[in-house]
Chains A and B, each alone.
Chain A
Amino acid sequence: MYRKARESLTAWRWFFRSLKQGDWLWLFIAIIIASLSVTSISYLGQSMKQSMLDKAAQNLGADLILRSSRPLEPRWQSLAQTLGLQTQNSLNTVTMALNPKFDTNFQLVNLRAVEQAEPLRGQIQPSPELPWQPLGADQVWIEPKLIEQLKLEAGGELLLGASQLKVIGSIQPSSLLNPMSQFAPQITMLLSDFAATQLLGPGSRITYELAVAGDPSALQRFRETLKRDAPNFVEVISAHAPSEDLGKTLDRAWLFLDLAALSAVFVAGLSILIASRFYLQRWHSTLALLRAFGGQDRALRRLFAWQFFWIGLSGSGLGVVLGWLVIQLLNPWLEQQFSPFVSAGFLLPMSLGLLSGLLVLWSFAWQAFQEAMATTPLQVLKNLQNKVPFYHWLISFALMLLMLSLIVQWHYLGWILLLGLLLSLVFYSSAAALLRLLKSVHPSSRGWLKISIAGILKQSPLIKIQLISIGLVLFVLMLMTFVRQDLLQAWQNSLPSQAPNTFILNVQPDQQDSVQNLLQSQKIVTAMVPMARGRLIERNQQPLLAEDFTEARAQRLLQREANIAVLAQLPEHNRILAQLPVEDYQGLGVSVEADIAALFGLQLGDQLLFDFAGQTRQYQVRSLRQVQWQSFELNFFFIVEPDSTQSLPISYISSFYQSSAVQRNALTQQLAQEAPGVLLVDVEQIIQQIRQIMDQASGAVSALFVFTLAASIAVLFSATLASQESRIQTWLLLRTLGASSRQIRWIGLTEFALIGLLAGILAASFAQLVSILIAYQLLDSAPHFSPMLWGSTLAISLLILLSVGWLSQKPFLRMSANQLKRHLKS
């Protein structure tokens, strides 16, 4: 034990001495960057996720809501309570509200009856329009727009069913919760008062809800039981994904964050790969000597493993501390961005950072370590090549796998590994091919170009590693730059600044003109889209029954009527993914949203039978469309072709952007008067919330990009330093032969420019290829050839290599032959 402790101390001394002389510097920096990136990204990611979830939970008023059109079984509430979760029952129904002062002033409202006035998560947001009081018996809170619509005053009363209730305040209702269903303004009352309204009866459409909140692990257990045992008619709404599309957007942001962390670590890993080889090679002769002196294999392995441990621990430790400092610097910004900001806690990110630093060192330096350990004592007398058995690659790979699993989610791991392996292979063969090309050019080149090419070819194995690492670094950087831009652009496009924030529904054919005129009088230009309420009942003469499907979403869609657009032309904002050839057309056509087609297994050419309020119609699937639901454009699962012979029970729907809240309210009033029954839905608040979440996600994505950049610079420096010795040898020879500083500078810079050019070509071609794939697969944007990507990759590659070359070689270019010789000896 004492001996082991002394061994670790000796290793520490050796490491510290080398570090003092700058030997392990780049390796050390790379570990610091890896650990710093993982610590800060993990903290940032976790905190942002937590803050967004908290925000979503506040909007929901709970962590999770069970919703059903039938009363919820009491066992769910008991289960939640047994698990230590808080619960609250509520119900919703759509009914008419009347101001008893004005007998004619009816308004459709969404009546919400709650067990307790305060939600489980978040707080009631009183709006200033009315003096506010806590909710009590026979009292209601109303949504602000009802004040105008029902001409209410403070202390005024409302008729709801058989009850007359006092208005004691106005509140802003939650909006992320199924926004489109809450088209009617909300009124909140206590559940204990609901029975007296006599609104509960045969035929009344009531939605029952059970809100649940509490400890995440208990929630997870509750969620698992629900998934297993809850009947299909119970819908579970979670703060994790308040809406499916928002969930998708956030998932992409998380994936990008994970990829940013992974890139920073991977790039730092490359730096470790090069630096560890470079530094350990300098130890080869000393290792041979120590073995010749009688150092035993196990003792030497232990000593060097300890050195690596110390390098890893101190590098990661420093990285974690710096990560903590970065977090402290970022915290005020985060608190500004997220309200409220939930800090994820430092322990987990710090442990992850520490572990990643150690793992990235071992996985990338394993080969160099084993190669150094394979040094035989005979090498004190003879030049021999160290051989490393193949299985060490597998160990290295396993360590890498372990490291990856800390950073990315398990379900991406396989893809990332496969892509990584493929990329490495392709990069290796491409680098070899580029070097072969350079070799073929060499005989016909002249002067300093010839000497520069010879300098590169002289150490082709090392240059191959340099090309791969620099190429990969540039590739990752360019890819991240362009994917980031694409990602931000895609988000911006999906929710442009003038996204429709007002919807008009339920416009009957005879009201179409008056509504259109009313809109025109307010200078609103928008199309009225005809639609019918219908239900899909058969596919290719086979009935589609809810019980045949396991997915709750499929069951719900088959049980309910959906809005089906009746249009001859498909909307421009939908992307057509597949189309049936015209020669296969039979009867009338329907265009199906791609996710729904996948859910029901619908194919092009399938015959679908719809039920429109008792009328059945058959349509052939003509195209599959991709739809961005979060864009707030009018979108439909099904768009059917109009039938000139038979008309469907049609109403009209429209959406537009109206910047002023006052005008939106005024329009609501006018619609109520001139076109009774027409509904106006204001989604401005939801759009604001979604936009805020997207802004936060894009801010995070940009911030994390900086880490990858820092890691990349470390790689570039260590890659250049690795081949410095051979370069200086050439310069020494040239100096001795009488070459001027200018000539040597040219030769040196040409060598760097050539490496930059080759690495740039590698990086640009792969970045182009992968950005096309990502655009197509992930971002739903059209793939395109990017001359900008090519030009900038080559220019940046050349510029970086020349600058790094210039900076790292500058001191040597000023040295005399004798000084160069002295430096080489050291």
Chain B
Amino acid sequence: MTQIPSSAPIIQLDNIGYQVRNDGQTLSILEHCQLHVEPGQSVAIVGRSGSGKSTLLAIMAGLEKPTQGRAFLLGQEISQLSEDECAKLRAQQVGFVFQNFQLLPSMTALENVLLPLELFQIEQAREKALAALDKVGLHQRAKHLPNQLSGGEQQRVAIARAFVTAPKVLFADEPTGNLDEQTAHQIQALLFELQQTQKTSLILVTHDMHYAHACDQVLQLQQGRLQPLKQTPTLGSGHVS
């Protein structure tokens, strides 16, 4: 696990651009994006479908490299890192939650939460996984398979899996997109609660403006550019331009 200096921002994007070539034409997905996320801060990114939100998320998480500008994750410039070095950087410091939960159907809730712990060979994995499930209120359903759980419960398992390694930053891609309104609210509350108790930075991609406005910063991705919709300096020192 790579340690970062405590003063370094969790994420920093400097003039990020991302172009792809399609049928001989260059298509610009992102242009001149700037972002600075401090530890413990929550940032929401909103935008229409196809606006490049997922690409931006991928660049922030070190899953994709920008074609222009510099992107820093946990103090390291990702363009300078190999795939494996990027992976090393993410190890136990980054968590993910997705719209479609991405649970392994043949494994129980507990076994799904155990996956990252076992991958990194963390001691007392079982106890930690059970504790994570307890935090999301699913201790009793630890032995249930995903298809025996409701959508909300499945997402809670995914959240437990994301938080079980106590990451420094959590990327959530439309985490409530597949859920009904009431369940969505419960999941949102759970995410914020865990983010705050574990002092995790949260990068949230969502369509839900109400949910987005609960974050410290709200940014809109429009025509490849990041535009601030809300900035709450009191909650953190993140800024956007």
Residues of chain A touching chain B, judged by Cβ–Cβ distance below 8 Å, are 3, 6-7, 10, 13-14, 17-18, 21-23, 282-283, 285-286, 289-300, 303, 376-378, 380-382, 822-823, 825-826
Contact = CB atoms under 8 A, between A and B. Distances in A.
A778 B126 CA distance: 63
Contacts of A377: 63, 87
17 contacts: A10-B121, A14-B118, A21-B107, A22-B106, A282-B104, A283-B104, A289-B102, A290-B116, A291-B87, A293-B94, A294-B87, A295-B91, A298-B84, A300-B119, A377-B63, A823-B147, A826-B145
B83 interface: yes
Among the interface residues A291, A292, A296, A297, which one has the most CB atoms of the partner chain B within 10 A? Answer: A292
A14 B90 CA distance: 22
A10 B118 contact: yes
Contacts of B92: 294
Contacts of A10: 118-119, 121
Interface string B73-91: 0000000000110011111
Contacts of B58: 378, 381-382
B96 A289 contact: yes
A582 B87 CA distance: 84
Interface string B113-128: 0011011110000000
Contact of B94 (A18, A286, A294, A297): A294
Contacts of A289: 96, 102
Given A294-B89, A377-B63, 15 more contacts: A17-B106, A286-B104, A290-B115, A291-B87, A292-B61, A292-B90, A293-B95, A294-B91, A303-B119, A378-B58, A380-B98, A381-B173, A825-B146, A826-B145, A826-B147
Among the interface residues B98, B106, B120, B147, which one has the most CB atoms of the partner chain A within 10 A? Answer: B106
A285 B147 contact: no
Contacts of B104: 282-283, 286
A293 B145 contact: no
A3 to B, nearest CB: 7
A31 B89 CA distance: 39
B148 to A, nearest CB: 8
Contacts of A285: 102
B54 interface: yes
8 A-B pairs closest in CB distance: A294-B91, A826-B147, A294-B90, A21-B106, A826-B105, A23-B106, A381-B54, A10-B118
B136 interface: no
A152 B111 CA distance: 90
Given A286-B115, A381-B54, A825-B147, A293 B106 contact: no
Among the interface residues B111, B118, B119, which one has the most CB atoms of the partner chain A within 10 A? Answer: B119
Contacts of B108: 17
Chain A contact residues: helix, strand, loop or mixed = helix
Given A380-B96, A380-B98, A3 B121 contact: yes
B183 interface: no
A286 B147 CA distance: 16
A380 B62 CA distance: 12
A826 B63 contact: no
Contact of A381 (B57, B83, B118, B165): B57
A296 B63 contact: no
A296 to B, nearest CB: 5
A248 B105 CA distance: 56
B102 A286 contact: yes
A21 B84 contact: no
Contacts of A23: 106
Among the interface residues B54, B95, B115, which one has the most CB atoms of the partner chain A within 10 A? Answer: B115
A479 B125 CA distance: 54
A293 B119 CA distance: 9
A294 B106 contact: no
Contacts of A823: 147
Nearest to B90: A294
Contacts of B118: 10, 13-14
Contacts of A380: 63, 96, 98, 102
B64 interface: yes
A317 B83 CA distance: 38
Given A294-B87, A378-B63, A380-B96, A822 B145 contact: no
B70 to A, nearest CB: 19
B93 interface: yes
Chain B contact residues: helix, strand, loop or mixed = mixed
Contacts of B147: 822-823, 825-826
A378 B145 contact: no
Nearest to B98: A380
A282 B94 contact: no
Contacts of B145: 21, 826
B2 to A, nearest CB: 9
Given A7-B121, A823-B147, A296 B106 contact: no
B126 to A, nearest CB: 11
B121 A6 contact: yes
A300 B87 CA distance: 11
B93 A294 contact: yes
Interface string B132-170: 000000000000011100000000000000000100000
Contacts of A14: 118
B96 to A, nearest CB: 5
A14 B111 CA distance: 9
Contacts of B61: 292
Contacts of A3: 121
Nearest to A19: B106
Among the interface residues A3, A294, A823, which one has the most CB atoms of the partner chain B within 10 A? Answer: A294
A531 B219 CA distance: 108
A299 B96 CA distance: 20
Contacts of B83: 297
Nearest to A303: B119
Contacts of A299: 119
Contacts of A293: 90-91, 94-96, 116, 119, 165
A25 to B, nearest CB: 11
Contacts of A378: 58, 63-64
B105 A282 contact: yes
Interface string B41-66: 00000000000001001100101100
B111 to A, nearest CB: 5
A698 B95 CA distance: 64
B106 A292 contact: no
Contacts of B93: 294
A298 B98 CA distance: 25
B205 to A, nearest CB: 9
A825 B149 CA distance: 11
A283 to B, nearest CB: 7
A293 B93 CA distance: 8
Contacts of B96: 289, 292-293, 380
A292 B83 CA distance: 11
A294 B92 CA distance: 7
Nearest to A288: B102
B102 A296 contact: no
Contacts of B91: 293-296
Contacts of A283: 104
Contacts of B54: 381-382
Nearest to A297: B84
A18 B93 CA distance: 28
Contacts of B119: 10, 290, 293, 295, 299-300, 303
Contacts of A303: 119
Nearest to B154: A825
A378 B90 CA distance: 13
B173 A294 contact: no
Among the interface residues A13, A290, A381, which one has the most CB atoms of the partner chain B within 10 A? Answer: A381
Among the interface residues A289, A303, A826, which one has the most CB atoms of the partner chain B within 10 A? Answer: A289
Contact of A296 (B57, B84, B107, B115): B84
B202 to A, nearest CB: 16
B87 A825 contact: no
A286 B98 CA distance: 12
A6 B83 CA distance: 24
A13 B118 CA distance: 10
Contacts of A290: 115-116, 119
